[in-house]
Structure 1
Amino acid sequence: MKVIYNWLFTAVFALMASVAFSQSTVTGTVIDGDINQPLPGASVLVKGTTDGVSTDFDGKFSVNTTKTSGTLVISYMGYISQEIAFTGTSNVGKIVLKPSSVGLDEVQVIASVAVDRKTPVAVSTVKAQDIQLKLGTQEFPEVLRSTPGIYATAQGGGYGDGRVNIRGFGSENVAVMINGIPVNDMENGAVYWSNWAGLGDVTSSMQVQRGLGASKVAVPSIGGTINIVTKTTDVEEGGTISTSIANNGYLKYGMTYSTGLSKNGFAATVSASKISGDGYVDGTQFSGYNYFINLSKQFTPNHKLSFTAFGAQQEHGQHYNRSTIAEYKQTEAGPNRFNPDWGYLNGSEYNISYNYYHKPQMSLNDFWQMSDNTSLSTAVYASFGSGGGRRTRGDKLGSDAYRLGSSDQPIDFDQIVQENKDRGALGSSDIIYNSVNKHQWYGVLSTLKTTIQDKLTITGGVDGRYYIGSHYYQVDNLLGGDFYLNTTSSDNNYNQPLRVGDIFGKNYDGKVLRGGLFAQAEYEVNDSFNLFVASDVSNTTYSTVDFIKYASTDPDRKSKKVDFLGYGIKGGGNYNLDDHNNVFVNVGYFSKAPFLTNVFQSSSSTNANPDAINEKVFSAEIGYGFRSSKFSGNLNVYRTAWLDKSISGSIQRGSGNEPLYYNLTGMDAVHQGIELDFIYRVTDKFKLKGMASLGDYQWKSNVSADVYDDITDNTTTIDLYAKNLKVGNSAQTTFSVGGSYDYAPKSTIFIDYNYAGDMYADFYVTSRSKADAGQAWKAPNYALVDLGIKHSFKIGTFDAALFGRINNALNTEYISDANDVDGTAQSALVYYGLGRRYSVGLNVKF
């Protein structure tokens, strides 16, 4: 027996020694070939084994394996994978991963993508794999919720109705660009995310530049810039089939396919998906088609041409009319599901707030590498939008007497239809009409870039845009009657019977012509010190044509053209103290034109507002960054002074009624704060992320406001006492912490905690007509927890990934948006945020 024990001991020892002596450690560094910087988070796997790690913040890796020789597979979403052979313990050196898309680097020239430890701006970048992991059924901007200075909500819960604020500035003062092309509405600066609902499928990266940013377009942003860079054309042939389901009947399915780059330099990528669902909030059913196409041709090694087109044709029910907290609490559906804006007509769901729109965007990008140091990148683009939203005329649609029960029940459209039929020759008392909006938008954005002696990079270009928007009210449903008597006294068809298809109330064109020049000089003093200065000048011309109030021969039908000359200058520098620490500073001043909606007294007026003047902005920021193999962090301090701001909007007058429109100029505000964010790689598999943002956003002046009623065509002027009021509708204190764990080489589980506090209600101008009105109402603070998992596996020879997400996992009840009436919670009109939602998705690559 002793002999046997000795034999077993010897065998086990020999086996252990064999394993120990056969272990190898392979090290190296992975470089992002797009920006020549380390690529953290890249996957490094020993082929044929489960031995693998992820690169650290410096792009470095060290993987242990029992193999004495083999092949490393290095991969990262959006990049071409590489296989590197190794023998024994060794250092394989630098491994450069190239983007898997043709022309991505050219797009980034126009998009002005910031470079870490070089571009002196506060920046956060979200890669495609993070969007894929966390987006789910959320609104596209909500994926930015864990970014410093960001406040994002789904507003009323309608599909694509979300909004995002940066440092307290709304979307009209945040530049949103897709592949470097601006998409903010040319008349009012708004961004309608429902028009870009398919972006989550085709985004390569999304970069948020807070404050002045690095954007080179002629009209700068105030709060920041959101640069969305889509996929171009993949180098390798292949595609993805995807599908996902979620709560409330959510269903999405689609496919993406790339031909790969052929020998003659041609490549194509197409993507399409179908989406539908009932909506989390009652009466917010939706459906849509998302599509994307990119065609690329490389004529010579130095000359590329690509065509891109994408869009989202959609329609969805909306939750437009807000309610008080008490009214929501008393509803049967509950605060985060109740919606007063829908009911039943002939047994089917029917909405009084409903949106439909299709806004395809097309661009032709030409990239010419003129020499080793000089390149010219030009984008010619066009967009043609068409759609609208439902509205109502009449008192019954806003009355509780015409609901299927009490005030919290759906609208009984059939009762209104019957009463309209009974009115006979009197016509309909209540109707549904569409506020129709169409536009044509053409533009060119061209950038010339040259480098002198590898030190000085000079960039200059032209930014030209022409826009014409057509807006009118059109009868959509007479609800049982034969006609509706027009009650808008200013119309040229006043007191005339209107039938389905007739136009009334509003019918005008708004025209915008903008041209500008921009220039930037970037000087690399040495490997550690980088300076830049940028300037721009632009002229904006506004005009309107009113077709509903004036005869075709009336000279007042067309407005005079109104010009605004804008300019700006900004500069800054980044200094890398050593391999780990850097500091930066930027400062800028610019004067920009107000929006068309502020230049004219009302949306359809041809009388220019004599008080409309340029808005002036001064902004300064200082930042500190730290990078190491385990920890990365940023600290920013900023202050933005905003003078002579112009504001336009609407005041809700109650369910089912037309809003009042207001227009004010000369508002001053100060936005200042501190931001901190970090990433800590606890182990190769476990990563922590966090941020904290402390803001102080206040109005600093009292002004007068014009309030316009487009039913009576009356305009009244009121005094607005806003000085020292908090800027509303954006949480001024936010923080988040999240963790992710790679439980397998390509599988991840995550949890995110997001807190929002000091969110003051946006105030109605009519509620602030007295000096002693007090501070705006502050909504309760709240926190949300999100969970998710990604698991990668094989289906035959195909790579597949399964995604699962739970948003608002604790089903927290919270107020996400609020309008102040008298400074109290009792009268505030609010939206509740969405409750717990889940989604499950499957992607299969072929």
Structure 2
Amino acid sequence: GLIDKTWTDSWAYYLSTGWNVNSNNKLELYVVGAPQRHGQNLYKQNIAVYDPEYAADLEDYDPLALEEFDEGGRYYSQNWGDVAYDYHGKQWWNGEEHDRHDENFINERENFYHKPQINLNWYTKLNEAFNIYSILYYSGGKGGGTGTYGSIEWDYSTPTRTADWNATIAENDTSSTGSSGILRNSRNNQWTIGAISKAYYTINENLTTSVGLDWRTAEIEHFREVRDLLGGEYYYYDGNDFDTTEEDYQKVLGDKIAYNNTNTVDWMGGYWQGEFSKNAITAYMMGGLSSIKYTFVDHFAANDDGDEVTAETDWIGGFQVKGGSSFIVNENIDVFGNAGYVSKVPIFDDVIDDGNGTVAADPENEKFTAFEAGLNFKGLDGQLAAKTNFYFTGWTNRTLSRGVTNEDGSEGLIFISGMDSRHMGVEVETNYRPIEMVQFDLAASVANWVYTNDVSATYDDYGSSGNIDTLNIYVKDLKVGNAPQTQLSFGTSFFPLEGLKAQFVVQHYRDQYADFNPFDRTDAEDTTQSWKIPDYTKLNFHLNYKLPVKVDGLDIAVFAHLFNVLDSVFIQDATDNSRYNGFDDDHDADDAEVFFGAPRTFNAGITIAF
């Protein structure tokens, strides 16, 4: 990989077949998946670690911070360390032992997963007006990510501390009480089985309607396991209530540690939609209902009866209603508008605390109110096309949760409900082709995403007879972070030959505020916006050529992409007031941890269609 000691090991498969049972029934089956592993760079760094000159040029970067952070270079990663070539310890993932990826280093952070998808589609035509489309599917998933567990020896000679694998291995190798620190896998294994069926009925030439049913059930396993003992014979873990002997506590490769939970999600839903179309007017309306139920089992925790701790919710209902219409003004202009309201069931983590099995007594749904209106235009005999729209989304009663430990040692769960945000903006897209060989494309998005209120979180102390406290969060008028709120793109495409397209695209991003955790805004005096990333622009080039001849009946095309042609240096992602890499916690450049954007890169290849 481009970043130090990052890498990818992956492959993919796809299988598809179909059967026309008769003129009114067709079956399709497809299977797709992509097993893969990645050596990762997960940890952002202070700007000065990547590029001290860039940091020094920023007006809001304190020069004193330059003395606190050593330079690692643009490709620096904290997530690996050298290891002696004579260490041959095995690693464990996906149920068996493996050799590590590289004999000369170990990645602290590696992820691995395989998510196969199997679909059986059935299309049936009952008559000219009535059709049914049904899907039976299986979605699997097996994977996880690595990290350290226990007490690791660290190397502080690097810009930010990295794991000292050799020192850790040497300590574990001579220990009589097992490894003090190891590598672990955090696993997420899951499967989903579902069925979706939709019926479409044409009432008359102007009116159609459809109804649908959606059922699915899923099981998700969350656990950690020993990945690499790093020179030791075993790792001592006594956190499983069902382990009873010293031998049970001595964990070897593949044994579960830290936590071991199984969650289930059951879903039922349905919808109705009607559409009317006559002359210049098209309109639709739809409504949907859903109901979700969660369960939880902690395989490491025993209840008062000596059984596994379990939790189960009631069925939680949600709904949505949407509607819209469009009107053709003339042959060049049409206008449209859509509106909707969604009452969304909270996700599992906002209903059950998988740390102790606590269930929210009365979980509240999140609410979304959305509106969109726009215009489409075409003219100059098809040479010019443009569309613009205004959107508004109000996200109310946003729900978040966090487990806490109270002063008396009991465990509690903080629920935030009532946090509101507003997302609104204008989007424009145009393309102009003055001659057959040249086309210009312009796209722009100008947005205003902001939190609209301060909130009080209810603090349910389940370890102290239901004592209720509050936590005040001050986020009113703070910008929503982690995405540029203004984006511009201008492209010029050339078509010098049939099948050949060369395109230059200039992209400009601005008004991107660093990501932050609203839980941290508990000080009424701290109302400063999160740090705003400097605006940046990059140029990309794309080339595609479809060969004018077929080879053995196959269509062949070649392509090439050159990204960041001018090798611009820019920050692409940032977290505000980093607890690990910040300087003085006042929401400016020296307090952010960041990822820089990729430098100039390219790829090229061949596509074959048959």
TM-score in same-fold range (> 0.5): yes
The equivalences for 1:488-567 within 5 A come to 496-526=249-279, 528-550=280-302, 553-554=305-306, 557-567=309-319
Deviation at 1:670, TM superposition (A): 0.6
Of 393, 396, 405 in structure 1, the residue corresponding to residue 149 of structure 2 is 393
Amino acid at match of 2:605: G
Distance 1:583 1:702, change over 3 A: same
Corresponding residue SS for 1:728: coil
Of 283, 307, 321 in structure 1, the residue corresponding to residue 43 of structure 2 is 321
Of 446, 454, 458 in structure 1, the residue corresponding to residue 205 of structure 2 is 454
Count matched residues: 545
Amino acid at match of 1:283: K
Any idea what the Cα deviations from partners look like across 1:537-563, whole Å, max 9, x if unmatched? 111111111111226954661112232
Equivalent-residue separation in structure 2 for 1:288 and 1:548 (angstroms): 34
Equivalent-residue separation in structure 1 for 2:234 and 2:133 (angstroms): 55
Corresponding residue SS for 1:482: coil
1:344 aligns with 2:99: no
Deviation at 1:813, TM superposition (A): 1.7
Of 334, 343, 346 in structure 2, the residue corresponding to residue 594 of structure 1 is 346
Deviation at 1:579, TM superposition (A): 1.4
Equivalent-residue separation in structure 2 for 1:650 and 1:319 (angstroms): 27
The equivalences for 1:82-481 within 5 A come to 279-329=1-51, 334-335=73-74, 337-347=75-85, 348-396=104-152, 399-401=154-156, 405-407=157-159, 411-422=163-174, 424-481=175-232
Any idea what the Cα deviations from partners look like across 1:633-657, whole Å, max 9, x if unmatched? 1111111111111236899xxxxxx
Equivalent-residue separation in structure 1 for 2:238 and 2:50 (angstroms): 33
Deviation at 1:378, TM superposition (A): 0.3
Amino acid at match of 2:574: A
Amino acid at match of 2:253: V
Distance 1:812 1:663, change over 3 A: farther
Deviation at 1:409, TM superposition (A): 8.8
Equivalent-residue separation in structure 1 for 2:180 and 2:600 (angstroms): 41
Amino acid at match of 1:632: A
Any idea what the Cα deviations from partners look like across 1:674-705, whole Å, max 9, x if unmatched? 11111111211211111110111111233456
Equivalent-residue separation in structure 2 for 1:364 and 1:686 (angstroms): 43
Amino acid at match of 1:828: A
Q: 8 Å contact 1:386–1:438 — kept in the other structure?
A: yes
Q: 8 Å contact 1:467–1:512 — kept in the other structure?
A: yes
Deviation at 1:610, TM superposition (A): 2.9
Of 395, 398, 409 in structure 2, the residue corresponding to residue 645 of structure 1 is 398
Of 451, 456, 474 in structure 2, the residue corresponding to residue 721 of structure 1 is 474
Amino acid at match of 1:521: G
Equivalent-residue separation in structure 2 for 1:455 and 1:595 (angstroms): 40
The equivalences for 1:663-674 within 5 A come to 664-674=416-426
Any idea what the Cα deviations from partners look like across 1:272-330, whole Å, max 9, x if unmatched? xxxxxxx2222221111111111101122221110011011001011112211122226
Match of 2:483 in 1: 730
Distance 1:706 1:386, change over 3 A: farther
Corresponding residue SS for 2:331: coil
Equivalent-residue separation in structure 1 for 2:187 and 2:470 (angstroms): 28
Amino acid at match of 2:365: N
Of 545, 555, 561 in structure 2, the residue corresponding to residue 791 of structure 1 is 545
Gaps of 5+ in 2: 53-69, 86-103, 405-412, 461-468, 578-584
Corresponding residue SS for 2:127: coil
Deviation at 1:781, TM superposition (A): 1.2
Match of 1:762 in 2: 515
Amino acid at match of 2:83: L
Corresponding residue SS for 2:370: strand
Q: Which has the higher contact order (CA 8 A, sep 6+)?
A: 1
Equivalent-residue separation in structure 2 for 1:453 and 1:764 (angstroms): 53
Amino acid at match of 1:296: G
Match of 2:91 in 1: none
Equivalent-residue separation in structure 2 for 1:409 and 1:666 (angstroms): 40
Match of 2:328 in 1: 576
Equivalent-residue separation in structure 1 for 2:601 and 2:388 (angstroms): 33
Q: 8 Å contact 1:543–1:562 — kept in the other structure?
A: no
Amino acid at match of 2:334: N
Q: Which moved more, 1:305-314 or 1:409-418?
A: 409-418
Deviation at 1:800, TM superposition (A): 3.1
Identity across the alignment (%):
29
The equivalences for 1:735-750 within 5 A come to 735-750=488-503
Amino acid at match of 1:429: S
Equivalent-residue separation in structure 2 for 1:529 and 1:609 (angstroms): 47
Amino acid at match of 2:372: E
Equivalent-residue separation in structure 1 for 2:458 and 2:603 (angstroms): 46
Distance 1:745 1:409, change over 3 A: farther
Match of 2:60 in 1: none
Any idea what the Cα deviations from partners look like across 1:591-634, whole Å, max 9, x if unmatched? 1101001112x334321123531011111111111023011111
The equivalences for 1:64-75 within 5 A come to none
Of 367, 378, 383 in structure 2, the residue corresponding to residue 616 of structure 1 is 367
Amino acid at match of 2:601: R
Amino acid at match of 2:235: Y
Distance 1:792 1:662, change over 3 A: farther
Of 418, 438, 443 in structure 2, the residue corresponding to residue 686 of structure 1 is 438
Deviation at 1:473, TM superposition (A): 0.7
Amino acid at match of 1:345: V
Normalised by the length of structure 2, the TM-score is 0.84
Equivalent-residue separation in structure 2 for 1:740 and 1:813 (angstroms): 25
Equivalent-residue separation in structure 1 for 2:348 and 2:296 (angstroms): 9
Any idea what the Cα deviations from partners look like across 1:775-814, whole Å, max 9, x if unmatched? 1111111112110212333586665322111011111222
Q: 8 Å contact 1:598–1:664 — kept in the other structure?
A: no
Equivalent-residue separation in structure 2 for 1:283 and 1:550 (angstroms): 42
Match of 1:827 in 2: 591
Distance 1:722 1:562, change over 3 A: farther
Distance 1:795 1:440, change over 3 A: closer
1:838 aligns with 2:593: no
Q: Which of the pair is proportionally richer in strand?
A: 2
Any idea what the Cα deviations from partners look like across 1:193-241, whole Å, max 9, x if unmatched? xxxxxxxxxxxxxxxxxxxxxxxxxxxxxxxxxxxxxxxxxxxxxxxxx
Amino acid at match of 1:448: A
Equivalent-residue separation in structure 1 for 2:189 and 2:141 (angstroms): 5
Equivalent-residue separation in structure 1 for 2:185 and 2:8 (angstroms): 18
Distance 1:284 1:552, change over 3 A: farther
Equivalent-residue separation in structure 2 for 1:473 and 1:663 (angstroms): 26
Amino acid at match of 1:282: D
Equivalent-residue separation in structure 2 for 1:763 and 1:597 (angstroms): 19
Q: Which moved more, 1:619-628 or 1:494-503?
A: 494-503
Equivalent-residue separation in structure 1 for 2:242 and 2:419 (angstroms): 36
Match of 2:101 in 1: none
Equivalent-residue separation in structure 1 for 2:260 and 2:458 (angstroms): 21
Deviation at 1:515, TM superposition (A): 0.4
